[in-house]
Structure 1
């Protein structure tokens, strides 16, 4: 149940008006108790437009666009001889990416040479001249693994689920080109996808437009193989369930005994790690996940001719390389992406290149970003908010009636042990650049973009391999670089991370009234904390080890309450296709928040309004479909309606009657 501890009294309001520009416009033609999403977002929905280069417009996309522009500005700014080599090479990579003349001059020779010399040729380009006898599945997968391509099978160094102080090797399914198996039955997607495949192959071959019989046959075979492979591909939810119930934990020495398949995974691991100069030992731990896929995929590989398999594997490599090629080839991919993502234009080349550098050299970019754009007050204020929200969550845990005493005590211990990271890792803000330079020592780039990309791929592959022999620092910054608009919970570290990129209005601003910050970044903090106790996070203890630390009865009670949420969200339809810590803060800081100018809403109401407006969003039909199939979270509309409809405090604040449009009669409640 939701505790009322911090909601016993109305907040005393000040007669002062907030003088800073945070006027939030609600659609007052809509009754908040009828449809809070339309009330909070209606005016925004009427005035906002979906950008042509995106399938959606929402707060995250707006902030991401601003971040993109800032990154381009940083990478194009005038550097100096004394700045770190890591930053110089980030600039070099960016410049090679935007140098269209040099990219055109490079052409496709570098890629085709790689395909012919290292991959023994792409059958679809060679026609009857491809030599079937040269095909070796293990060898081609290993070669592309050197270029950081996990095709069909994924191998990676990761924190050991059973021992969070050590690393292990994980074998799992890789991705599929269309992301979800459902798409392989949708002609609106599969026909443009096969056209993409056909046009790229034709553009790289010496065939005329009328001489495409062999290419058409190869495209058909590739797609049939991929469609059959996709039938076994697990969704995110299926992966999570499978990893709870069916995972093999073994060692390199016992791998072939404990996971006996027609594909030689032992040789695959040994040779992959040898590329990074890491010699595997017999007692190195191996975790094998996604067993249904792995078993079916290895069997499927036995039933298809080597030509089809070779064609598919190189195709998966070339899908991504199309983005690194001259304009003509990029346009072929962009044509498909417009259909698949629901866009009508591509992002500018400068934005694409800035994104590429940020994804691959994010901490070097962040070194520049935090100096120029990050508000340092966000660190202390956000850490204070984490403290209040953690305490509020612990109060909820203590008042929970469905958990047994021991499980509750361990849950409180885990909540207290959560490590909070704000903005950026400390070393990045230091004048000492040793770690930055060491981390990017192998990132050395010249004027050729395609050669730089291939070098980047090899460097990334080696990086993940080297981690196996490194110690685990559980207090180190986990996950993405600071220059992302997102937030994270890392189960193996029991850590919540809020990068600099998300600490912007409407999530956070140092001059905003606290109820806006709590309705923004505060709810994000609460969301990430709750991940430590959701269906996945609850499987990890306070030290990040995967083990059962709840009693069987508590798990059953949790699942019963979870079902209410599952049923509620399963009934939501996209028409086109919490108790909070703010109350505690306000109780200890009486009368310190100001009302917004021209608004009649109370601070508590504005808390909910800002929470909702964070999730205002518009989507194209294609984007909405993709989001439903691939997203791990609900769409913005239901991230507003779902929680508020279950929250009795929302009803109190807006004087809603149970059963009124935005208020469920039977409230779903876990915490």
Structure 2
């Protein structure tokens, strides 16, 4: 008997208990029975027993998600994931989407919390001590400190001229407010990008030199559509309500003033959004960047953006070098809107953006507060946490497996580039592509070589003062950034994002795999078929490899320099094939609407090429078993299927890939998914990729012309 469980945490323990409760006993097991089963698994030296239990549990889990009555050749996502929402439903108040990724994050969070809450050890290094100090000070913030907390926020605001909404009506002096000088002072002390972003990266022309970039910042709702579309009004209303509540709760602003101010803050931000770039246009940073002198930018905006004063204040020194201005449309829009919006509203927006960095829900329950403090700790110490988890939990065999998968996938792609299957790319362009592939690297994002003691040696943290700690962390980070201005550029750092998501970094020609993905018994296990490992970890690695050759990644060469290395004929052939993907995905409906048109097809190209590469790598692994002794080969092949699932190993591969994308999305969140994300909704990451893959159609015997085996297929790699 296979039953549907409400289990959300798929750790080894719960998977085993789930199986034992569902299969071994038609009635719910008593506590003593459960303890007996756990004891037998944990203490038994019979690895075959453990292996069999794990395999049966995985089979039960995969079967539970399926809706087998759906025609696999009509809608394979529904076939593979039709019961996911019953097992992992959304919560209208707190959880707008559930998916496998969230389960991985949740378990990883528990590991991180365990590290943060355990007693200090004598052998803890300095970075670990600082990490725990920051976390503990955060946890201590409670309702008893309400007034002290509010006063400290007011003090932060007063550093930069105060917030009009905090002052008695009519007492704020508009003539004394200089928006540019204010955001520059905030940038200089705390490194916060408000209205304008000031960043630093290597020069496009000379990679040994750092250049400053000035342009649009990241806005809270991320895309213009989120600020303008009627379909996303619920999100804007919720965002405005959050601003109102923050003004009231943390700053003590009266209800009527808070409501008015929140409305003005949202309006100001929506006007900023009129000028932000649309990522769907697929423009590279270099294509949007204009090399400027101070005088050139002053002239471009007729002095409305005093970039000389902004740079000098932000950097704390006279700046006379060239820099890059990116996405000029944003600055043009900014100049126009500042002519129309009262200074008081601009000041409220600037100071609110500053203060929200320090907001914290001190009234939260202890468990909720732990989660909030973990998020804050990860924001500033993600690298240290990942390194600790890696050292504490890492299995060397897992890293070896990922590296083996990477080598096989790279080998497969090399063979493809050398074959006639990509003859639409000229021989010269393929030669350069092969050079890029040979130079491409993969690394686990474990920060093993990081010198944390040196990085954090100047940082002094309090055991009790949360706001002061935030200030000190920001000041410390900003000083380090300013010190790097005259140094050789360092590799790109996005520790929070890279902690949870694989990524291809074009300017380093590097694939980074997060430590989070090393967690066993979710996507892979020594006890599961290799088909599952190649379909999940293998697909993710292959997906990132293809990003090096998609419509964005192909702009970077083997050394990570952004330049055009494709000849005209190959570029024309690439773009012609890309049109097929644009057409295919634009015809998919999500939440009753067609997916928004997009020039950028990077994720669709990577999804399609990634699954095909991973499948080829799996086939190559199977072929390698021919070199194994007959008995061993039979044993390995026998383990490539799962008990109680009537699927071949090849079918399991496609099922595992599809179930990685199983999700449930709250109806109010669906429009946001399609409007913000450059990825297709999860359903179409499965359907789109598999519909283009003839091997899938053959393994599931889908007739030509069915939804999952259309006569016209899209393919680049």
Aligned partners of 1:162 and 1:547 also within 8 Å: no
SS in 2 for 1:589: helix
- Counterpart of 1:110 (choices 152, 167, 183) is 152
Judging by fraction of residues, say which structure has more helix.
Answer: 2
For the pair 1:514 / 2:530, whether they are aligned, the reply is: yes
Q: Which residue of 2 aligns with 1:484?
A: 499
More displaced 10-residue stretch of structure 1: 382-391 or 188-197: 188-197
Establish whether residue 589 from structure 1 lines up as the match of residue 629 from structure 2.
Answer: no
Deviation at 1:190, TM superposition (A): 3.5
Alpha carbons of structure 1 residues 354 and 208: separation in structure 2 relative to 1, 3 Å: closer
- Answer yes or no: is 1:40 the counterpart of 2:80: yes
Question: Contact 2:387–2:447 at 8 Å: present in 1 too?
Answer: no
Report the more deviating stretch, 95-104 or 253-262: 253-262
Q: Kindly tell me: are residues 467 and 608 of structure 1, through their superposed partners in 2, closer, same or farther at Cα, counting changes over 3 Å?
A: farther
1:559-570 alignment, distance < 5 Å: 559-570=575-586
Q: Secondary structure at the match of 1:586?
A: helix
What does residue 615 of structure 1 align with? 661
- CA RMSD, aligned part only? 2.8
Q: Distance in 1 between matches of 2:141 and 2:301?
A: 48
Residue 204 of structure 1 deviates from its aligned partner by 6.2
5 Å matches for 1:455-494? 455-472=472-489, 479-480=494-495, 484-494=499-509
The match for 2:674 is 628
Q: What's the offset of the Cα at 1:326?
A: 3.6
Of the three residues 223, 235, 239, the one matched with 1:180 is 223
Name the counterpart of 1:148.
191
Alpha-carbon separation, structure 2, partners of 1:153 and 1:32: 50
Q: Give the corresponding residue for 1:310.
A: 347
Distance 1:317 1:468, change over 3 A: same
After superposition, what is the alpha-carbon deviation per residue over 1:600-648, rounded to whole angstroms, capped at 9, x for unaligned? Answer: 2122111111111111111112332222222121221111111001011
Superposition map of 1:374-523 within 5 A: 374-398=394-418, 399-427=421-449, 435-446=451-462, 447-472=464-489, 479-480=494-495, 484-504=499-519, 505-523=521-539
Partner SS state of residue 656, structure 2: helix
Partner of 1:78: 119
Separation (CA, whole Å) in 2 of partners of 1:497 and 1:143: 35
Whether the aligned pair in 1 keeps the contact of 2:498 and 2:514 (CA below 8 Å) is yes
Give the whole-Å Cα distance in 2 for the aligned partners of 1:479 and 1:564: 33
Query: 1:232 — aligned with what?
Result: 275
* TM-score (norm. length: structure 2): 0.81
Task: Report whether the alignment pairs 1:269 with 2:311.
Answer: yes
SS of residue matched to 2:155: helix
2:368 is aligned to 348
Match of 1:13 in 2: none
- Give the Å deviation of 1:182: 2.2
Q: Which residue in 1 is equivalent to 2:68?
A: 28
| Residue 643 in structure 1 maps to residue 689 in structure 2 | yes
Deviation at 1:518, TM superposition (A): 0.5
3-state SS in 2 of match to 1:241: coil
SS at match of 1:82: coil
The TM-score normalised by the length of structure 1 is 0.86
Show the 5 A alignment for 1:600-611.
600-611=646-657
Contact 1:508 1:517 in 2 (8 A): yes
Q: How far apart are residue 375 of structure 1 and its match?
A: 2.0
Of stretches 453-462 and 648-657 in structure 1, the one that deviates more from structure 2 is: 453-462
* CA distance in structure 2 between the partners assigned to 1:17 and 1:93 by the alignment: 40
Q: 1:228 to 1:485 in 2, by over 3 A?
A: closer
Distance 1:191 1:515 in 2: 45
Aligned CA distance change for structure 1 residues 83 and 627 (closer, same or farther; 3 Å): same
Q: 2:562 aligns with which of 529, 536, 546?
A: 546
Task: Give distance in 2, aligned partners of 1:391 and 1:259.
Answer: 52
The 1:574/1:80 distance shift into structure 2, 3 A limit, reads same
Q: How does 1:119-134 map to 2 (within 5 A)?
A: 119-126=160-167, 127-134=169-176
How many pairs are equivalent? 621
Q: Deviations over 1:284-323 (max 9, x none)?
A: x52221111122212322333221211221222234433x
Q: Distance in 1 between matches of 2:191 and 2:104?
A: 30
CA-CA distance at 1:511 after TM superposition:
3.5
Structure 2 Cα separation of the partners of residues 538 and 377 of structure 1: 33
Q: Distance in 1 between matches of 2:301 and 2:511?
A: 35
Contact 1:170 1:289 in 2 (8 A): yes
> For residue 373 of structure 1, what is the aligned residue in structure 2?
393
Greater relative contact order (Cα 8 A, min sep 6): structure 1 or 2?
Answer: 1
> In 2 relative to 1, CA 164–55 (structure 1 residues): closer, same or farther, beyond 3 Å?
farther
1:264-343 mapped onto 2 (5 Å cutoff) = 264-274=306-316, 282-283=320-321, 286-322=323-359, 324=360, 326-327=362-363
1:483 and 1:426 map into 2 onto residues whose CA distance is 15
Matched, 1:557 2:573: yes
Q: Per the alignment, in what secondary structure is the counterpart of residue 324 of structure 2?
A: strand
Runs of 5+ unmatched residues, structure 2? 1-48, 594-610, 627-632
Name the SS of the counterpart of 1:57 in structure 2.
Answer: strand
- Seen in structure 2, the aligned counterparts of structure 1 residues 38 and 478 have a Cα distance that, compared at 3 Å, is same
Report if aligned partners of 1:365, 1:483 keep a CA contact under 8 Å in 2. no
Contact 2:185 / 2:313 at 8 angstroms: preserved in 1?
no
- Show the 5 A alignment for 1:155-174: 155-174=198-217
Q: Relative to structure 1, is the Cα distance of residues 463 and 508 closer, same or farther in structure 2, using a 3 angstrom cutoff?
A: farther
Per the alignment, in what secondary structure is the counterpart of residue 49 of structure 1? Answer: coil
Relative to 1, partners in 2 of residues 1:306 and 1:414: Cα closer, same or farther, differing over 3 Å?
A: same
How many angstroms apart in 2 are the aligned matches of 1:565 and 1:612? 19
Deviates more, 1:382-391 or 1:506-515: 506-515
